[in-house]
Structure 1
Amino acid sequence: MPIDMCDQENYVVFLLDEKRYALYLTAVERVVHAVYVTPLAKAPDIVLGVVSLQGRIVPVFNVRRRFHLSEREVHLADQIIFARTERRTVALWVDMVTGVIECDKSDVTHAGDILPAMEYVRGVIQLDDGLVLVHDLDAFLSLDEEKLLDGALEASHSL
């Protein structure tokens, strides 16, 4: 029986401490190797700083801090994922992007069905070799963090 393409989703999979996370492919603009991040004064704790992407100033998020993972030294192999939220383009500092996977929507369990308070996680994909947490970029920053980030970005433009 042919698979209806509407029942398929594509995800960019990345690693943090050997744990797999994913973003919807449609939200991802590009993946680049790690670059120097300019610190941003008065930004929320999870913002490492900013980088320029084709002339746009983009905040870089420390995903490890958001998921309460231990900090680690920066490696040359680290990567940055540029992705779009409802409000802005953001960059996520990750250990490594492993590729793109395609799976049936029915293979994704909604986070609320597992644990209602799973912040920053939209769902879980069960693959033959383990689980992948689907990251909810639009819930990444709280409203207070959004305001702090907006203020820090505005202040940096006026320098």
Structure 2
Amino acid sequence: MQDENQAPEGQEVLAFRLGAEEYGIDILTVQEIRGYEAVTAMASAPDFIKGVINLRGRIVPIVDMRIRFNLGKPVYDQFTVVIILNVAGHVIGMVVDSVSDVITLAPDQIKPAPDMGTALNAGPLVGLGTLDQRMIILLDIDKLMSSAEMGLIDRLAA
């Protein structure tokens, strides 16, 4: 079994934007990137779950990260994308404002995250990546989609 935390040659992350901030997730969790399209709303779902889409015959729940992180009212435009993720064997769509690029961060470019009491609790926040003048908030997508949420997402996808 491969240890995902070991990356002596660097960690590849997909960088994306939510508002003014840039975030990064492990590229190995990314299945594909799609333009934003209308979703089918689900009754009784939390507000951050926009609904579901049919992705080649598979029903995929769509989570809006701007709503999830309380970053204001989302705006859907030509830059809005859905990152299709494979998390713990589940396919989930994550709406973000835009995707920047795939970057490789060397171990010395990843700093521990300070405790600032932000919208993110300490669980999903892996650290901060620095690349030139960029600061990238690194997320553990497995922890972000907590077990309680994954249970709800499982029910939506069923």
Calculate the TM-score normalised by the size of structure 2: 0.83
Distance 1:148 1:26, change over 3 A: closer
3-state SS in 2 of match to 1:97: strand
Q: Does 1:145 align with 2:149?
A: yes
2:124 aligns to what? Answer: 120
1:11 aligns to what? Answer: 13
Unaligned runs of 5+ in 1: 155-159
Look up the equivalent residue of 1:138 and give its one-letter code: D
3-state SS in 2 of match to 1:69: coil
3-state SS in 2 of match to 1:126: strand
3-state SS in 2 of match to 1:115: coil
Sequence identity (%): 26
Look up the equivalent residue of 1:48 and give its one-letter code: K
Return the alpha-carbon distance in structure 1 between the equivalents of residues 8 and 153 of structure 2: 36
Aligned residue-pair number:
148
Return the alpha-carbon distance in structure 2 between the equivalents of residues 37 and 17 of structure 1: 21
Return the alpha-carbon distance in structure 1 between the equivalents of residues 33 and 155 of structure 2: 27
Return the alpha-carbon distance in structure 2 between the equivalents of residues 120 and 48 of structure 1: 21
Give 1:118 shift.
2.2
Give 1:85 shift.
1.1
Look up the equivalent residue of 1:106 and give its one-letter code: D
Indicate which of 41, 45, 62 corresponds to 2:47: 45
1:58 aligns to what? Answer: 60
Look up the equivalent residue of 2:38 and give its one-letter code: Y
* CA displacement, residues 59-92 of structure 1 (integer Å, 9 cap, x when unaligned): 1111012222001331132111011111411111
Unaligned runs of 5+ in 2: 1-6
3-state SS in 2 of match to 1:144: helix
Look up the equivalent residue of 1:94 and give its one-letter code: V
Return the alpha-carbon distance in structure 1 between the equivalents of residues 58 and 125 of structure 2: 27
* CA displacement, residues 11-50 of structure 1 (integer Å, 9 cap, x when unaligned): 1100111310011111111111111111122223321111
By percentage of residues, which structure has more helix? 1
Contact 1:42 1:152 (8 Å CA) reproduced: no
Greater CA drift, 118-127 or 62-71: 118-127
3-state SS in 1 of match to 2:67: helix
3-state SS in 2 of match to 1:7: coil
Return the alpha-carbon distance in structure 2 between the equivalents of residues 71 and 32 of structure 1: 21
